[in-house]
Amino acid sequence: MLKTSPNNKNNYSVPKVTKPANHIFVFLEIFSREGGIQSYVKDLFRSYLALPEHWNAEVFILRDGNDSKNPFVSNRLRFHYFKNNSPQVGRMQMATALFAYLVQKRPQHVYCGHVNLAPLVGMFCQTLGVPYTVMTHGKEVWSPLPNGVKTSLQKADRIWAVSHYTRDIASNVNQLDPQKIKILPCSVNGDNFTPGIKSPKLLERYGLHDSKVLMTVARLWSGDIYKGVDITIQALPQIVQAFPDLKYLVIGRGDDQPRLAKLAEDLGVSDRVVFAGFVATEELISHYQLADAYIMPSQEGFGIVYLEAMACGIPVLSGDDDGSADPLQNGKLGWRVPYRDPEAVAKACIEILRREDQRCNGEWLREQALLHFGFEAFQARSQHEFLVNS
């Protein structure tokens, strides 16, 4: 039986549950790579483990192996790995194990971590009468989906979306009931991502002494040019006219780096662009602290990097037609510019670097980011969803 506790400061009433609960989570991959989706899932685990001790779940992961560095293993979260040299064999093994568990244990709810797994989860759950939720993250649901995927979403009991933009686009193009789509945005760890002085060691490493620094953290893959690194490079000549000491620090790796380096060379700004390559998560905070502005005129499902920058007190710029409307609070917390418009990026960057706007107040930015998107807010939202579904 569900009972409701008083609203917390984020205005989420968290039901209390008095009966044991058992659930299933199904994901593509969590520990074998780093990214926004993986961070999101790890926050879900932290939130789940803060629920009553008699709650437990089985976690099925298609592409991770049992050698994964997994800090969440416990008697409450039991992990099953299905990485295989043959993706088809791995998928078959997971499907067999998942169906057997569903038949034997009849869990109260199944959480499907990606639309690519939704047809499998949907088929099993519909057959056995088990309710299920599908998590969506961004671009994967912005276009019309194959019929099997679309049907599995339409028949889901709930759908989670990380942003209002994703909810609206997905429901329109895939005929989904917006009433069953719940917004569960990403969060930022305010204990890890904090303001700080610019590291002298990193300033020396990247040649950033006495420079104004723009920064982007993004995959540099040719399939991900929507991140807008090329647009920011195109904006540099105009920005340099106002700030001659400007440098652009690009963190990330991928096959698109040669094209981006050639673009910088052609525009005469190759000495302004620093490609830092891959930076591990534990070193990322000190890199954010190098920045005077975080610039990513992208098309994001949400954009956790904007939260990370703001939690470090760094002003941010995003695109204006995507899920970044949520972390930037529709422009209240940062600059939103037309996607792939170098002139608009340049103009906004100059405004940011002049630091005459409230949105450049690092202390205020951090306060607002954590108020709306700190882990406490995420935990309240996600636990409400877990408890309502049980």
- What is residue 163's DSSP assignment? S
Report the C-alpha gap between 269 and 213 in whole angstroms. 14
Report the C-alpha gap between 327 and 372 in whole angstroms. 8
- Global pTM value: 0.91
**pLDDT value at residue 20:** 60
Are 37 and 125 members of one domain? yes
**pLDDT value at residue 325:** 97
Are 25 and 113 members of one domain? yes
**pLDDT value at residue 250:** 98
Are 68 and 172 members of one domain? yes
Tokens at 75, concatenated: 């008697």
Are 171 and 216 members of one domain? no
* Residue 100, domain member (yes or no): yes
User: pLDDT digits over 113-149, tens only?
Assistant: 999 999 999 999 999 999 999 999 999 999 999 999 9
Report the C-alpha gap between 112 and 26 in whole angstroms. 5
**pLDDT value at residue 12:** 53
Are 320 and 209 members of one domain? yes
Place of tokens 């037609």: 321
Are 144 and 14 members of one domain? yes
* Residue 192, domain member (yes or no): no
Are 349 and 226 members of one domain? yes
- What is residue 148's DSSP assignment? H
CATH number, domain of 369, equals: 3.40.50.2000
Burial class of residue 201, CB neighbours in 10 A (0-12, 13-18, 19+): exposed
What burial letters (b/e) apply to 7-18, b meaning 16+ CB within 10 Å?
A: eeebebebeebe
Beta-carbon contacts of residue 2 (< 8 Å; ≥ 6 apart): 15, 16, 17, 387, 388, 390
* Residue 193, domain member (yes or no): no
State the 10-residue block means of pLDDT for the chain, 390 residues long: 39 51 94 90 97 94 93 95 96 98 95 98 98 96 97 98 97 97 97 97 98 97 94 98 98 97 98 96 95 97 96 98 97 96 98 98 98 97 92
Are 74 and 62 members of one domain? yes
Task: Count up the domains in the chain and report the number.
Answer: 2
**pLDDT value at residue 185:** 97
Are 171 and 213 members of one domain? no
Are 366 and 381 members of one domain? no
Please give the share of the chain, as a percent, with pLDDT higher than 70: 95
Are 272 and 336 members of one domain? yes
**pLDDT value at residue 16:** 53
Q: Which domain holds residue 342?
A: 200-373
